[in-house]
Amino acid sequence: MYFLCRQQHESQASTETHETLAPLKDNREGVFTMQSHPTPEEAAKALNEVNERREQAAAPDAHPAWTLWALGAVAIGYGVVSDLRPDLSTPLLFVLVAAALALAALPRWKRSGSAMGYQRSPSSHPVGMSGRARMMRTGVMLVLMALAAAAGLIMRSFDVPYPTTIGITVVVLTIPLWRGLLNRAARDPKA
């Protein structure tokens, strides 16, 4: 029924309609007809579709994988420099922050974003994320940062060599874990 509806509309819109349109979701049940005024059920289904599409498009996974690992490599490099040459850590930090801000801005434009491997512009405020979800996500990030800082203090107090390098390396290697935590915190079922 859904395929027929879409194919009928496609044939009305064009002379070439031979594609079989795949369902948008496998578990979809029924469709709303191409009436000028949808029924309440059809309207609710359409709203569900809109919500799903917008959440899908605004999911925080717009960043290509290489950007995270590049960020990790730079962070580890910074850790090494901080431990070996503490006098360079502050100026290096300024340079890295400036570079990170520039790289964060570039994907906003189509050509530079595509050149960096983005298929869509990343969203800093994902649609559909409630205020509560954003607060939870921010809270998770703050907790992670606090844990990293506490670990650094503990290592320094025990004279562990290269504490910054070790701390940053641990954070980088656990990127998949805390990225999952952040994404889960962003998906508030009550949103």
Least Å distance, CB 173 to other proteins, is 30
Least Å distance, CB 133 to other proteins, is 12
Would you count residue 188 as binding other proteins (CB under 8 A)?
A: no
Contact positions with other proteins (CB under 8 A) in 86-115:
108, 110-111, 113-115
Least Å distance, CB 67 to other proteins, is 16
141/38 Cα distance (integer angstroms): 43
64/66 Cα distance (integer angstroms): 5
Rg of the chain over Cα atoms, rounded to whole angstroms, equals: 24
x/- mask, other proteins, residues 39-78, rule CB under 8 A, reads: xxx-xx-xxxxxx-xxxxxx---x----------------
138/18 Cα distance (integer angstroms): 48
116/55 Cα distance (integer angstroms): 23
Say if CB 140 and CB 185 are below 8 A apart. yes
Would you count residue 21 as binding other proteins (CB under 8 A)?
A: yes
Q: For residue 103, how many other CB atoms are within 10 A of its CB?
A: 14
Say if CB 77 and CB 89 are below 8 A apart. no
x/- mask, other proteins, residues 22-41, rule CB under 8 A, reads: xxx------xx-xxxxxxxx
34/25 Cα distance (integer angstroms): 19
Would you count residue 149 as binding other proteins (CB under 8 A)?
A: no
Would you count residue 132 as binding other proteins (CB under 8 A)?
A: no
Say if CB 158 and CB 77 are below 8 A apart. no
Beta carbon nearer to other proteins, 53 or 184: 53
Binding site residues, other proteins, CB under 8 A: 5-6, 9-10, 13-14, 16-17, 19, 21-24, 31-32, 34-41, 43-44, 46-51, 53-58, 62, 108, 110-111, 113-115, 119-121, 123, 125-128, 191
